[in-house]
Homo-oligomer: A and B are copies of this chain.
Amino acid sequence: MLYLIGLGVWNEKDISLRGVEFCKQADSVYCELYTAHWGGDLEKLEKMIGKKIRKLKRKDVEEESGKLLEEAKKKDVVLLVPGDPLIATTHVHLILEAKKANIPVEIVHSSSIYTTVARTGLQIYKFGKTGTIITPRKGYDSKGFYEIIRDNLSKGMHTLLLLDRDMGTRKGLEILERIENRKRRKILKGRRIVLCSRLSSEHERIVYGRMEDLRGKDLPEPGVIIIPGKLHFLEKEFLETLG
């Protein structure tokens, strides 16, 4: 059996009781920490569950998932994942492979960036499609998120923009402004946006302000940028308490 267990949004205390229980019963416990940032302490977690946790690399989970699945055919294998286990496409793909190989899968959910963004006071149900700001690379079109913002704004929806690994909010804003400058439509100019850093941790920072005024603000990763759509007066009031 394969267990995909979410570590939750910040550190080793964000895992659920169910998650800990399955880890204690498992034959092997692995973790991958590349699909999202995790601020926890693996040793503390090992003490809690009473066994060693082996850290997997991207290729172990993606290219060489066969090994993991082979083991799960005979044993109870846990893969710990930062945040909620089904946010990253990789894990959904892994489940599909397990299904094809007739390996039962148990998924243990957890807190995720998709719910913690509500700490801004913005209502979750009003978010549209999510974008990701990617560091421009040769041959890679990273402008998709600009179209997502435009589509969402046209329907009054908020947009959550995830940031590439090792990208702070300053770099994210720079890329955003550069793409806006290349386009004819100025949908972001003068708009008030939200920068978030390390949500739900003791280092959390949330800043609300005009895009131009936030230029240069470099909040540490993991961070996100939110482009609010049409605001309810309560959302507006909440955002304004953030300063």
Contacts and interface: CB of A to CB of B under 8 A. Distances in A.
Nearest to A122: B92
Given A17-B13, A21-B13, A128-B157, A115 B118 contact: no
A20 interface: yes
A195 B92 CA distance: 19
A119 to B, nearest CB: 6
Nearest to A125: B130
A151 B234 CA distance: 24
18 contacts: A8-B109, A12-B17, A13-B17, A13-B21, A15-B16, A15-B17, A84-B118, A86-B118, A87-B118, A89-B123, A107-B119, A109-B115, A109-B116, A110-B111, A110-B115, A114-B114, A114-B115, A114-B124
B13 A87 contact: no
A18 B9 CA distance: 11
Interface in A30-70: 48
Interface residues of A, number: 52
Contact of A151 (B14, B109, B155): B155
Contacts of A189: none
A112 interface: yes
Nearest to A83: B115
A36 B162 CA distance: 28
Contact of A16 (B14, B48, B121): B14
B157 A129 contact: yes
B118 A129 contact: no
A59 to B, nearest CB: 19
Nearest to A48: B17
A20 B127 CA distance: 30
B96 A121 contact: yes
Nearest to A242: B99
A11 to B, nearest CB: 8
B124 A86 contact: yes
Contacts of A25: none
A14 B241 contact: no
Listed from nearest, the 6 A-B pairs whose CB atoms lie closest are: A109-B111, A86-B118, A125-B130, A13-B18, A84-B115, A151-B155
A88 to B, nearest CB: 9
A229 B126 CA distance: 17
A127 B127 CA distance: 8
